[in-house]
Structure 1
Amino acid sequence: MAAKLRAASPIITIDVNQARLELAKELGATHTILSGDKTLDIPEEIRRISGGNGVFRAADCSGIPVVIEQMIKSLGSRGKAATVGSPAPGVCAKIDIFAHIVKGTHYIGSFEGDSDPSKTHGNFPLDKIVTLCSGKDYKKAFEDIQSGKVVKGVLRWVEDSPLDVN
């Protein structure tokens, strides 16, 4: 959504779940890649889509080391990548330091993000990606996340909590 607001192109979304890829298209992705195929070279596919050099900006929401590694390999010259998904403590990703230096790429982490006024102005339809779930129904929430029915499930442990995504 943020990439669309910034008129970025191409906007490439990668996921293991086809339903989430369809939602990504609805929210502005110009290209999608279903990543379940182990024979697919994702960085090469991204370079093909982006005209050969790689992407200028990339974000990882999974925190999965192999995904982070592929994201960094997909960067073009002077590209910047950020991870916003949190892995468990001590989890490491392998990075080709030489390629990182020669291409002048940047990699950062982001924890909890920053407040964005675009949400306040209605530019981010968070209701399409965030689903509030009762803490009592946590098992169903996890099933819905795994199936792709829910993109980001937020467990509401206190039912009268003022938490609102709209």
Structure 2
Amino acid sequence: MSIETVGNILTETKEVTNMAYNPMIKEWELYFEKANGYDNRVAVVKAFAKFWEDSAADKLKIPGKCMLGGRVFGRKGFNDGDEIFTSDVELIERIEHGNHNGIPYDLMCAITVSGSKYYFYSDGHNAYMFLMLGDLFHTGKLSQDRYYYLKREFHSSKLI
């Protein structure tokens, strides 16, 4: 899937201060196409959650198909704050560890099948990604409701 713009609909929460880490995606989420199925979503989210929790792990090869979406900053051809979807993510790398006011975070880089790099902070996810990870950590499974982890504006899309 190619990059699509949805519009500037959310508010900015972090400032991008290091231009070496552009484009930066904020309020990010992993998105999945319905055609790839729920089993694909479960496999990818389980692998991502394990990587996300293991601060010693440096890389994650994505074991399925997913896209990274959110608000982009510093991407040529897009206005800062435009909502995008990347092409399928192939690899996620942990770039640096940090701590801001007692809250740990990691700077990560998603590398797509086309070779594009997108940076995001581990704690900069949206509420739906928080819900997805929380469900997995607390119940060990994800909801089968198609729209449970999607914003209302994506309910008529081909995403699950």
TM-score for the superposition, normalised by structure 2: 0.23
- Structure number with greater Rg is 1
- Larger relative strand fraction: 2
